[in-house]
């Protein structure tokens, strides 16, 4: 058996399935067989689409793209656990969670194609916020939104995704403190994938991330982020706490970033291939599929049917992305100033020929 990634050392994470797909805990997370199968299908679709997006970037159809291979369980498990009124505040790496929340992937990828800042989908309809490139700023937004939910008496929560590098930012600590003081119905969901671009977890944080919650007065939980059932249960319980008025939860999901930080990055300059090969032994899809097969919830026929369906879905998304037209030039100047400065007005007139 391969060794666990280095950043998994320390406190044993909550786990339902062992890396080989055998049950090691209470396997009943409250989902029916068809719901369990749906989670695996989401994971398979997400991975196939993720790889297609990398190909699209290499072909010049996307400007830059941050892959998430290896993190499917962390995103699918957590997004599935949320209710329809809950609101997600993503980073720039949550395409899998966006799929679960009903975001049109073509519209989502408009951001990475460079045709729309933040994506043209409606955040209010999808309950999924715009893509956030600045590190950790969305955590503050999520806690503020959660406080608004509490003031309105709405039985819902917000969930902010972020990476381990974000926990070194001031915005993380300010948001966590605010959430603790005001008992905000928020879930702070850290996908600890081992690398903050080229900096390993142990070089950017000295302690275990989930323990930081204690200093802010609320629970922190460490979960195996490659175990989709454990992630689902942990997030579901955190949402229940939020709904009940018991405040925020910090979840540290231990996972591993198989690919580069983004297509603009070369991980070969700072990590060795043996590390990546070892991490593949903890593949979240292989683990979950193995268990579903062992209990008779899926078989080879179902998987074969899905393969064809998913391929068709991904190719349709690819065609949709490529077919997106360039936005009108005047949009570059719109929605920035109510009363544009003279210099901007001159530039607009020069570009548009007016």
Active site residues: 257, 261, 270
> 170: which residues sit within 8 A by CB, 6+ positions away?
136
Strands (E) in the chain, as ranges, are 87-89, 158-163, 186-192, 195-196, 199-200, 220-224, 249-254
- Name the residue with tokens 């007065």: 217
In the 8-state DSSP scheme, what is residue 182? T
Q: Which stretches of 118-185 are assigned E, i.e. beta strand?
A: 158-163
For tokens 């951001």, name the residue: 111
**What is the distance, to the nearest Å, from the Cα of residue 204 to the centroid of all Cα atoms in its chain?**
21
CB atoms within 10 A of CB 246: 14
* Strand pairing report for 195-196 and 220-224: unpaired
CA nearest neighbour of 53 among 100, 102, 110: 110
End-to-end CA distance of the chain: 68
């Amino acid at each position: 058996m391969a060794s666990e990634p280095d950043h998994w050392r320390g406190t044993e994470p909550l786990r339902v399935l062992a890396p080989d797909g055998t049950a090691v805990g209470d396997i009943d997370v409250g989902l029916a067989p068809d719901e369990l199968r749906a989670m695996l299908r989401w994971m398979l679709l997400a991975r196939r689409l993720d790889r297609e997006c990398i190909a699209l970037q290499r072909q010049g159809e996307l400007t830059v793209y941050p892959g998430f291979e290896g993190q499917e369980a962390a995103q699918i498990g957590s997004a599935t656990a949320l209710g329809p009124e809950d609101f997600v505040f993503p980073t720039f790496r949550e395409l899998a969670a966006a799929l679960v929340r009903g975001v049109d992937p073509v519209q989502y990828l408009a951001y990475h194609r460079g045709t729309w800042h933040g994506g043209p989908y409606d955040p209010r309809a999808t309950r999924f916020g715009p893509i956030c490139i600045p590190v950790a700023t969305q955590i503050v937004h999520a806690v503020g939104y959660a406080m608004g939910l509490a003031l309105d008496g709405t039985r819902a929560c917000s969930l902010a995704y972020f990476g381990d590098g974000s926990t070194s930012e001031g915005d993380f600590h300010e948001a966590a403190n605010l959430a603790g003081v005001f008992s905000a119905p928020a879930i702070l969901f850290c996908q600890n994938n081992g690398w903050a671009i080229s900096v390993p977890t142990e070089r950017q944080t000295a302690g275990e991330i989930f323990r930081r919650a204690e200093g802010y007065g609320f629970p922190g939980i460490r979960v195996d982020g490659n175990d989709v059932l454990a992630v689902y249960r942990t997030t579901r319980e955190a949402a229940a706490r939020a709904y009940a008025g018991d405040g925020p939860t910090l979840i540290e999901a231990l996972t591993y970033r198989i690919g580069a930080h983004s297509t603009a990055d070369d991980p070969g300059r700072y990590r060795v291939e043996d590390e990546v090969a070892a991490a593949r032994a903890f593949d979240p899809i292989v683990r979950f599929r193995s268990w579903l097969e062992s209990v008779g919830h899926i078989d080879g026929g179902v998987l074969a049917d899905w393969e064809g369906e998913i391929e068709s879905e991904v190719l349709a998304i690819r065609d949709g992305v490529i077919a997106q037209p360039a936005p009108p030039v005047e949009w570059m100047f719109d929605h920035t100033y109510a009363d544009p400065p003279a210099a901007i007005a001159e530039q607009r007139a020069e570009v548009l020929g007016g």
